Amino acid sequence: MHSQNRNLVWAEEFNGKKIDTDFWNFEKGLGHNNEEQYYTSRAKNIRIEKGLLVIEARKEKNKRSKYTSARINTFENQYFKYGRIEIRAKLPQGKGVWPAIWMLGENRKRDGYPASGEIDIMEFVGKDPTHIHGAAHYPEIDNKKMNSVAEKILLRDSEDDFHTYSIEWNEQSITYFVDGVSYHSFNIEDAEREGRDNIFKKPFYLIINLALGGNWAGEIDDSIFPARFYIDYIRYYNL
């Protein structure tokens, strides 16, 4: 699908002085998946600098954790259904980092997880610095068992370490890209279950976070802090 067939629906360029709370909610507290960070809304952990959103993970005690970081979402403020979602970002490096750009269904609070479904536009773990992962997660009919379809792509070097992560999503499929190169396509029909609507045919909200350690990212190297995840822009097009 070529850019001339796209119309920009919504964009966040992070050009303001502070994070726009008309779009973004700050999540606070401990992470999931046995991660070790405590999420805050402090400028130390999340801010705008020179047209970039900066999420900074720090080694410092907070509540029941030895680390702090940040996580924001667009729940109730900006939903996405079909189209192209494109994010230009620079990832933190080092063992233990787990930055992600991902989505949950708008029914998350109502129906819980995994009933909400999940679309992972970009996931990265510092212990595997050469790959980017994209995935779709959806529940079985009991809404307890989860199915996951995931793929990864080798991340090539770029001059400034920024890359563009995107999905193109329509009624048939979700296709995943890094720097315009497609590496995975999920067939939405695979999530069809009798007696309920397909979860990938309803709106989702966006989440951006920097997790540490936990089930996937594993051991944390304390010498890497502060670790910074930079987001240049988010652009949402209809196709």
Q: Is 161 strand, coil or helix?
A: coil
CB 235 within 8 A of CB 100: no
Task: At 2, list the tokens.
Answer: 């070529």
The Cβ of residue 158 has, within 10 Å, a number of other Cβ atoms equal to 11
Q: Is 118 assigned a catalytic role? A: yes
Among the listed residues 118, 159, 171, 189, the single catalytic one is: 118
Among the listed residues 36, 56, 106, 123, the single catalytic one is: 123
Using DSSP bridges, classify how beta strands 7-12 and 227-238 pair: parallel, antiparallel or unpaired: antiparallel
CA dist 59 → 12, 20, 72, 116, 213 (Å): 29, 26, 20, 32, 12
Q: Is 36 strand, coil or helix?
A: coil
Handedness of CA 68, 72, 75, 79 (dihedral sign): negative
| Residues forming the active site | 118, 123
